[in-house]
């Protein structure tokens, strides 16, 4: 038993593609701590000295169990995490303190834990677990169950409300379904439906009278400001679109090589950019390091995502394959939405930039993901109980 | 293509992975491209400029409002430095206590109860909140008590001021909402509703501190500064204790909670407007007064509110003063452009009088200083407002006001007054106008009000509601009376010019105008003595004020001609003397153009009225031989584009000469209507005792509608009339004065007493004393001539 464990651990240290994943994760975290240090002295250090070790320990822990065991624990953990989301919404329960009107955190001694961060992980694992041996979702109606699997946590998170996190679920589901071989025309028709719904919301926001509005006033303003800023109309820049306009200005001013630490510190503090260490950290990165900073960050995300996809490609375990795709899709969506809102392509939604934004729970969950990817990378072979989701993998080994 | 791909990558899963990888790559490329687009070229240059701009902090420096001088160069109104106390909106409302009670409840739960293992249910939390709310309400009440006590101001005044601020914020907010809506409407081309309003109102009111106490003393200022510093220190200590989670955190929080109320207070240092000669102590010689009140003493009369209706005062600016559609601009408009002369909350603006009409000239430009990272990069000095020179003589104004005071004697019933006015409280006005320039040297309304009375809400309410004395009316410009007989010389000169009467023509006065209707259109001599003037020429007709002569002229002229000529003398249009509240006076409507109207207008009755200032200007026109110059309170060179109107109305000079002779007859001949003051015991004395002057003039006793009590509706409009407060005739006396050696008349001196009865008795002695006052102030060869002027 002990020998087996040591064998396992030794295997973990073998070079694998997942080392690129780890490299990207650590580099992004260091980048993040420097960026955070630009705007909130002390926070950057906390991120590296306090949260990074905790996250690395968590990463090492999740590297130990075999993917099979992880698969066994997936459903109970998913249910447990969903219960924690329900708990957050029960009025008057202890250890839940609304912050800025959102019931998203459980107060523990020394830290605030954000259960949604962990639900994201278990959602991906749960989805992979559900899809691994099936092909039912290749019919249109077969998509029903995966969608239910998405809507339960999605609605609970929307209720907190935490629109940013909730936004990640649908793209992740789509990516996993694409990888699992769902019919593209089914998915595209659903995407078309979604796009139509979003377009409808935008049209209603822009043109409908007040009594027919669907979104809350502050959400309407954000959508309007994206359109007005994109049209070069800076009249909302002093009011509703302030956050976005300021971020765009700071990014533009960064130029090729940025302002450097001290100048950037002054400029950002005078600009009054809200949430600079958190949601709006990409503006800080580009302002300090310029386009080269942006390129580095985006390149690191690309490394993270491609290496995770390569791990999926090398693995023969359908659960591992789909989990890795899910994690890659989640990081991709989160970084795209965050950077997109900085560049004026998407409205402000309150979503963090993975690894770079300040936040303990977030870093913890991201390193758990990294640990899982590393774990999966060194255990590419699997003994299957049934044929996997992939109809043409003739070389599979069955139990 | 698809087949090749399948052959190359047989696994569907791997093909799909490739697809996802390509999508991710494409999206990242898009993000990079967009970043590069933003961070290069024109948008980069603009952003660099904007960022540099955002490092700048601009502080506005206040300006000084222009001064107001009287005709002799005395400063009547000027700005002086002072301290104001501005208080946050949430302290003015109850919001401060509510907000702090919420914070304190949270603090208590987190730092006191939870560490002790006590967790609160919702109900317990609510109970705790109520306890805290009571504590903070007490703190807030105590704060207002202390502040009111420090300022030494009546609580009611403070309450009233709070109400004013609430009203102001409401106006301001609704206007801001309106602007915001307009802006969004422009953007989206849609009509929006009030949902946005709620946010904006909360923001506006939270941000601003509003001035509650003006011009506080040094002690209060120092005390408040001390308390503010203590509050600031308490906050820092509490913050430090919280970050270090130190043991004395709860104690520090307690200290901060008690002191925090003072962080909502701010000492501002704007400038105060002072009106220097508003109160005067005037030594009044009683030796030239009519017999019954004459003495050798010099009486010192205290007067207040001197020139106040002319100068005006300052008030808080309201949002609608500089809203869309008005002439004035906000300090920062909806597009963010700054106008240094523009208005913003807590600014003052002229309320009435010169302060209001000359606002644009008096108001200066703010300055500003821009610092970039602490270093001064741009300084624009404020430009002080321009000064305004008035035509009034503030000491003459004070003297006249003193002689119209009740204690001096003219504004209470005396032996020379007619019986029917014995029980009436007197009111009236005096105007002194320079003939050559139409500059108004003095315009006094009595009874009046003082600045102190106006600023105290309680006395102000009384002033506004006083329907008997109407102290808030500035009679010389606002009240318009029928001219009565004072119009006769003007009509004579006009009729001669029109050829309706020749200079030598005699008209027969038989006591009644038309023997067929003997009770209609009678001469006063017939009414009083059943007598008649018989054949009479123009100058004598004016001298004895024969009604029949002027009924005849009125009839001959016809309404149309009369209206034409009276208009030429300035009746029916605002004189534009540059004070607020001027009346136009009345002339008949088209449907009143009948012979009866013309006959009545011949003696200044019927549907025609003028204000005392219009009357003075019309007499000056006659004295100048037909040159009309509109009257003014502001020196012609300071009137900017708003020049005085001058026109020659083309009077026949022979007619003018005879009219002036008629005026001389009034004051110099035994049968003149304005020569003697008569007493009940048949004794009489001369009205004018100035052997060194030529004083001519005309009396007028004008019909007047009774002054009734007015009931107002909720909107402030007249609802109905109640009992009669005053009844009778208004008494006019308009005189032209010059020194014997002068060729032309120099001043018009006019007095009208509301419901004072005979113009000779009510106004004659007042005009005489005004001339004495003028001499005392150095006019007309008085002792002080050349002293100040």
* Residue where a domain terminates, one of B242, B269, B296: B269
Q: What is the SS3 string spanning B688-737? A: CCCCCEEEEEEEEEECCCCEEEEEECCCCCEEEEEEEEECCCEEEEEEEE
> How many distinct structural domains can be found in chain B?
5
Cβ under 8 Å to B: A residues 266-285: 266-267, 270-272
Q: What is the SS3 string spanning B103-160? A: HHHHHHHHHHHHHHCCCCCHHHHHHHHHHHHHHHHHHHHHHHHHHHHHHCCCHHHHHH
Residue A232 pLDDT greater than 70, yes or no? no
Distance CA A266, CA B4 (A): 56
Compute the nearest-CA separation of A253 from chain B (Å).
Answer: 5
> pLDDT digits over A301-354, tens only?
999 999 999 999 988 888 999 999 999 999 999 999 999 999 988 888 878 899
Q: What is the pLDDT of residue B181?
A: 55
The residue length of chain B stands at 789
Are both B182 and B321 inside the same structural domain?
A: no
The answer to whether the peptide bond before residue B218 is cis (omega within 30 degrees of 0) is: no
Query: B454 lies in a domain?
Result: yes
Domain containing B628 — which CATH number? 3.40.710.10
Query: Helices (DSSP H) in chain A: which residue ranges?
Result: 2-13, 18-39, 43-46, 52-63, 67-89, 115-131, 144-158, 163-166, 169-180, 184-207, 217-230, 242-254, 261-271, 281-314, 318-342, 360-378
B38 lies within 8 A of chain A by CB? yes
Are both B206 and B255 inside the same structural domain?
A: yes
Radius of gyration of chain B (CA): 37
Query: B701 lies in a domain?
Result: no
Query: B679 lies in a domain?
Result: no
Q: Which tokens hold the place of A34? A: 């420097």
Return the SS3 of B444: strand
Q: How confident is the model at residue A215 (pLDDT cuts 50, 70, 90)?
A: confident
- Cα separations in angstroms, B69 against B78, B355, B386, B577, B635: 9, 12, 11, 16, 10
Spans of chain B, pLDDT less than 50? 187-206, 785-789
Q: What is the pLDDT of residue B202?
A: 35
Query: A393 lies in a domain?
Result: no
Evaluated on CA atoms B406, B409, B414, B418, the torsion sign reads negative
- Spell out which residues of chain B touch residue A255, defining contact as CB-CB under 8 Å: 39-40, 44, 48
A48 secondary structure, DSSP code: I
Cβ under 8 Å to A: B residues 112-151: 119, 121-122
Overall average pLDDT of the A206-227 stretch: 74
Residue A201 pLDDT greater than 60, yes or no? yes
The domain of A175 spans: 18-378
Are both B353 and B484 inside the same structural domain?
A: no
Q: What is the pLDDT of residue B607?
A: 92
| Least confident interval from A214-228, A231-245, B71-85, B270-284 | A231-245
Cβ-count burial B125-151 (b if 16+ within 10 Å, e if not): beebbeebbebbbebbeebbeebbebb
Q: How confident is the model at residue A45 (pLDDT cuts 50, 70, 90)?
A: confident
> Residues B421, B762: contact at Cβ < 8 Å?
yes
Radius of gyration of chain A (CA): 22
Residue A230 pLDDT greater than 90, yes or no? no
Per-range mean pLDDT, top range of A234-238, A375-379, B58-62, B654-658: B654-658
Q: What is the pLDDT of residue B177?
A: 57
- What values do phi and psi take at A322, rounded to 5? -70, -35
- What values do phi and psi take at B474, rounded to 5? -95, 90
Compute the nearest-CA separation of A92 from chain B (Å).
Answer: 7
Would you give the distance in Å from CA A86 to the centre of its chain? 21
The closest of B206, B199, B179, B54 to A221, measured between CA atoms, is B199
Q: What is the pLDDT of residue B192?
A: 38
Are both B6 and B60 inside the same structural domain?
A: no
- Spell out which residues of chain B touch residue A256, defining contact as CB-CB under 8 Å: 39-40
Distance CA B671, CA B586 (A): 32
Query: A310 lies in a domain?
Result: yes
Query: B339 lies in a domain?
Result: yes
- Spell out which residues of chain A touch residue B12, defining contact as CB-CB under 8 Å: 181, 390-392
Query: B300 lies in a domain?
Result: no
Q: What is the pLDDT of residue B42?
A: 86
Q: What is the pLDDT of residue B602?
A: 94
- Cα separations in angstroms, A63 against A59, A328, B133: 6, 17, 54
Exposed, middle or buried, B708 (CB in 10 Å: 0-12/13-18/19+)? middle
Query: A13 lies in a domain?
Result: no
Interacting residues of A150 by C-beta distance below 8 A, sequence separation 6+:
A123, A127, A169, A170, A173
Q: What is the pLDDT of residue B194?
A: 37
CB contact under 8 A, B35 and A294: yes
Do the bridges between strand B747-753 and strand B375-380 make them parallel or antiparallel, or are there none, so unpaired? unpaired
The closest of B628, B629, B627, B625 to B655, measured between CA atoms, is B625
Compute the nearest-CA separation of A54 from chain B (Å).
Answer: 23
Query: A350 lies in a domain?
Result: yes
CB contact under 8 A, A181 and B36: no
Are both B532 and B651 inside the same structural domain?
A: yes
Residue A396 pLDDT greater than 80, yes or no? no
Domain containing B325 — which CATH number? 3.90.1310.10
Distance CA B77, CA B83 (A): 18
Q: What is the pLDDT of residue B197?
A: 32
Most B CBs within 10 A among A43, A221, A249, A260, hence the mutation to make, goes to: A249
Query: B340 lies in a domain?
Result: yes
Would you give the distance in Å from CA A55 to the centre of its chain? 16
| Least confident interval from A277-286, A378-387, B370-379, B462-471 | A378-387
In what helix (H) or strand (E) does residue B616 lie, and over which residues does it extend?
helix B612-623
The domain of B232 spans: 84-269
Stronger pLDDT, A251 or A111, i.e. the higher one: A251
Compute the nearest-CA separation of B33 from chain A (Å).
Answer: 10
Evaluated on CA atoms A147, A153, A159, A160, the torsion sign reads negative
B19 lies within 8 A of chain A by CB? yes
Q: What is the pLDDT of residue A133?
A: 82
Query: A395 lies in a domain?
Result: no
CB contact under 8 A, A390 and B12: yes
Q: Which tokens hold the place of B260? A: 């925090």
Query: B677 lies in a domain?
Result: no
Distance CA A140, CA B15 (A): 21
CB contact under 8 A, B34 and A92: no
Are both B379 and B396 inside the same structural domain?
A: no
Most A CBs within 10 A among B9, B25, B50, hence the mutation to make, goes to: B50
Residue A391 pLDDT greater than 60, yes or no? no
Residue found by looking up tokens 């260490």 in the block: A277
Considering chain A, what percentage of its residues have pLDDT values greater than 70? 89
Nearest CB among B20, B31, B36 relative to A336 is that of B31
Query: What DSSP string describes B584-610?
Result: ------GGG-SHHHHHHHTTT-SS--B
Do the bridges between strand B388-389 and strand B68-69 make them parallel or antiparallel, or are there none, so unpaired? parallel
Distance CA A381, CA B707 (A): 110
Instruction: Give the chain B residue nearest A285 (alpha carbons).
Output: B35
Q: ipTM of this model? A: 0.89
Interacting residues of B12 by C-beta distance below 8 A, sequence separation 6+:
A181, A390, A391, A392
Are both B153 and B258 inside the same structural domain?
A: yes
> How many distinct structural domains can be found in chain A?
1
A228 lies within 8 A of chain B by CB? yes
Q: What is the pLDDT of residue B191?
A: 42
Domain containing B463 — which CATH number? 3.30.450.330
- Cα separations in angstroms, A91 against A86, A96, A103, A160: 10, 9, 10, 11
Nearest CB among A181, A210, A239 relative to B12 is that of A181
CB contact under 8 A, B188 and A270: no
CB contact under 8 A, B17 and A313: yes
Q: Which tokens hold the place of B543? A: 């001298």
- Spell out which residues of chain A touch residue B50, defining contact as CB-CB under 8 Å: 249, 253
Residue found by looking up tokens 């005979």 in the block: B758
Are both B650 and B753 inside the same structural domain?
A: no
């Amino acid at each position: 038993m002990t020998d087996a464990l040591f064998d396992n651990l030794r295997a973990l240290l073998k070079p694998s593609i997942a080392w690129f994943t780890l490299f990207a994760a650590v580099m992004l975290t260091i980048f993040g701590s420097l960026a955070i240090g630009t705007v909130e002295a002390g926070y950057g250090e906390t991120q590296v000295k306090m949260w990074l070790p905790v996250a690395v320990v968590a990463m090492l822990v999740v590297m130990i169990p075999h993917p099979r065991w992880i698969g066994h624990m997936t459903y109970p953990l998913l249910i447990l995490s969903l219960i924690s989301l329900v708990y957050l919404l029960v009025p008057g329960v202890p250890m839940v303190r609304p912050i800025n009107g959102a019931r998203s955190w459980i107060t523990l001694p020394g830290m605030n834990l954000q259960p949604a961060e962990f639900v994201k992980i278990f959602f991906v694992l749960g989805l992979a677990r559900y899809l691994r041996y099936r092909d039912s979702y290749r019919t249109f109606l077969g998509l029903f169950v995966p969608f239910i699997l998405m809507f339960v946590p999605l609605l609970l998170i929307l209720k907190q409300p935490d629109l940013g996190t909730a936004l990640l679920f649908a793209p992740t589901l789509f990516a996993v379904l694409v990888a699992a071989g769902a019919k593209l025309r089914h998915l595209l028709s659903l995407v078309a439906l979604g796009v139509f719904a979003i377009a409808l919301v935008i049209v209603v926001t822009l043109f409908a009278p007040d009594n027919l509005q669907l979104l809350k006033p502050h959400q309407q303003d954000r959508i309007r400001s994206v359109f007005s800023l994109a049209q070069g109309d800076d009249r909302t820049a002093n009011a509703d679109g302030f956050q976005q306009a300021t971020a765009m200005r700071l990014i533009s001013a960064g130029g090729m090589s940025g302002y450097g630490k001290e100048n950037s510190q002054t400029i950002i503090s005078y600009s009054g950019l809200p949430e600079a260490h958190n949601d709006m950290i990409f503006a800080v990165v580009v302002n300090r390091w310029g386009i080269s900073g942006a390129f580095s960050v985006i390149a690191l995300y690309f490394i993270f995502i491609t290496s995770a996809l390569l791990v999926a490609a090398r693995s023969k375990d359908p659960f591992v394959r789909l989990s890795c795709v899910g994690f890659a899709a989640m990081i991709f969506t989160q970084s795209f939405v965050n950077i997109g809102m900085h560049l004026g392509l998407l409205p402000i939604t309150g979503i963090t930039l993975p690894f770079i934004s300040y936040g303990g729970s977030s870093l913890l969950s991201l390193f758990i993901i990294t640990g899982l990817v590393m774990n999966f990378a060194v255990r590419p072979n699997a003994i299957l109980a049934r044929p996997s989701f992939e109809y043409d993998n003739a070389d599979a080994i069955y139990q | 293509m698809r087949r090749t791909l399948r052959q190359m990558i047989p696994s569907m899963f791997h093909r799909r992975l490739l697809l996802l990888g390509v999508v991710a790559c494409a999206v990242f490329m898009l993000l990079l491209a967009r970043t590069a687009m933003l961070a290069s070229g024109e948008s980069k240059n603009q952003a660099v400029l904007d960022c540099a701009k955002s490092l700048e902090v601009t502080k506005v420096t206040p300006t000084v409002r222009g001064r107001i001088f009287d005709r002799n160069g005395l400063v009547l109104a000027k700005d002086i430095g002072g301290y104001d106390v501005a208080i946050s909106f949430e302290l003015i409302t109850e919001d401060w206590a509510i907000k702090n009670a919420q914070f304190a409840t949270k603090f208590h739960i987190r730092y006191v109860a939870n560490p002790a293992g006590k967790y609160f249910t919702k109900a317990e939390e609510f109970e705790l909140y109520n306890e805290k709310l009571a504590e903070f309400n007490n703190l807030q009440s105590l704060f207002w008590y202390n502040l009111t006590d420090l300022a030494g101001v009546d609580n009611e005044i403070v309450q009233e001021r709070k109400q004013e601020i609430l009203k102001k914020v409401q106006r301001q907010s609704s206007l801001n909402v309106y602007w915001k809506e307009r802006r969004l409407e422009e953007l989206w081309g849609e009509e929006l509703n009030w949902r946005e309003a709620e946010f904006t109102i909360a923001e506006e009111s939270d941000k601003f501190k509003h001035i509650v106490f003006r011009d506080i003393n040094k002690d209060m200022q120092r005390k408040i500064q001390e308390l503010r510093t203590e509050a600031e220190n308490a906050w820092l200590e509490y913050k430090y204790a919280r970050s270090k989670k130190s043991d004395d955190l709860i104690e520090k929080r307690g200290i901060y909670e008690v002191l925090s109320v003072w962080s909502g207070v701010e000492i501002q240092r704007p400038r105060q407007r002072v009106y220097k000669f508003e109160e005067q102590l005037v030594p009044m010689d009683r030796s030239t007064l009519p017999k019954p009140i004459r003495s050798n003493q010099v009486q010192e009369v205290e007067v207040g509110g001197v020139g106040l209706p002319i100068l005006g005062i300052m008030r808080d600016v309201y949002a609608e003063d500089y809203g869309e559609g008005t002439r004035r601009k906000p300090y920062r408009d909806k597009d963010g452009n700054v106008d240094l002369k523009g208005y913003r909350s807590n600014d003052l603006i002229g309320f009435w009088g010169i302060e209001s009409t000359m606002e644009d000239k008096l108001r200066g430009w703010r300055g500003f200083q821009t610092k970039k990272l602490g270093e001064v990069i741009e300084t624009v000095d404020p430009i002080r407002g321009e000064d305004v020179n008035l035509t009034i003589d503030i000491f003459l104004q004070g003297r006249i006001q003193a002689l119209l005071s009740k204690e001096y004697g003219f504004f209470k019933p005396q032996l020379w007054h007619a019986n029917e006015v014995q029980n009436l409280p007197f009111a009236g006005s005096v105007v002194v106008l320079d003939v050559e320039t139409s500059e108004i040297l003095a315009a006094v309304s009595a009874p009046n009000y003082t600045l102190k009375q106006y600023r105290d809400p309680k006395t102000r309410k009384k002033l506004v509601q006083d329907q008997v004395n109407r102290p808030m009316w500035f009679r010389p410009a606002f009240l318009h009376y029928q001219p009565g007989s004072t119009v006769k010389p003007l009509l004579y000169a006009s009729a001669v010019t029109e050829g309706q009467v020749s200079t030598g023509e005699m008209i027969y006065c038989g006591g009644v105008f038309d023997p067929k209707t003997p009770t209609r259109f009678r001469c006063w001599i017939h009414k009083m003595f059943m007598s008649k003037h018989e054949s009479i020429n123009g100058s004598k007709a004016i001298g004895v004020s024969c009604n029949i002569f002027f009924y005849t002229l009125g009839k001959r002229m016809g309404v149309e001609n009369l209206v034409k000529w009276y208009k030429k003398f300035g009746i029916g249009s605002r004189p534009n003397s540059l004070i607020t509240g001027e009346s136009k006076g009345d002339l008949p409507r088209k449907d009143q153009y009948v012979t009866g109207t013309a006959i009545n207008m011949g003696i200044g009755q019927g549907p025609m009225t003028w204000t005392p200032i219009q009357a003075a200007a019309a007499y000056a026109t006659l004295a100048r031989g037909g040159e009309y110059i509109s009257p003014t309170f502001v020196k012609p060179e300071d009137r900017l584009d708003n020049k005085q109107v001058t026109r020659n109305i083309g009077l026949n000079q022979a007619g003018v000469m005879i009219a002036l002779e008629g005026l001389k007859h009034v004051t110099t001949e035994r049968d003149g209507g304005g020569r003697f003051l008569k007493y009940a015991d048949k004794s009489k004395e001369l009205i004018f005792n100035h052997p060194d002057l030529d004083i001519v003039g005309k009396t007028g006793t004008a019909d007047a509608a009774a002054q009734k009590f007015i009931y107002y509706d909720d909107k402030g409009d007249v609802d109905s009339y109640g009992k009669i407060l005053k009844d009778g005739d208004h008494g006019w006396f308009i005189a032209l004065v010059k020194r014997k050696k002068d060729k032309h008349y120099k001043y018009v001196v006019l007095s009208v007493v509301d419901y004072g009865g005979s113009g000779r008795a009510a106004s004659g002695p007042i005009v005489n004393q005004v001339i004495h006052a003028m001499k005392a102030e150095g006019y007309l060869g008085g002792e002080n001539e050349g002293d100040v002027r």
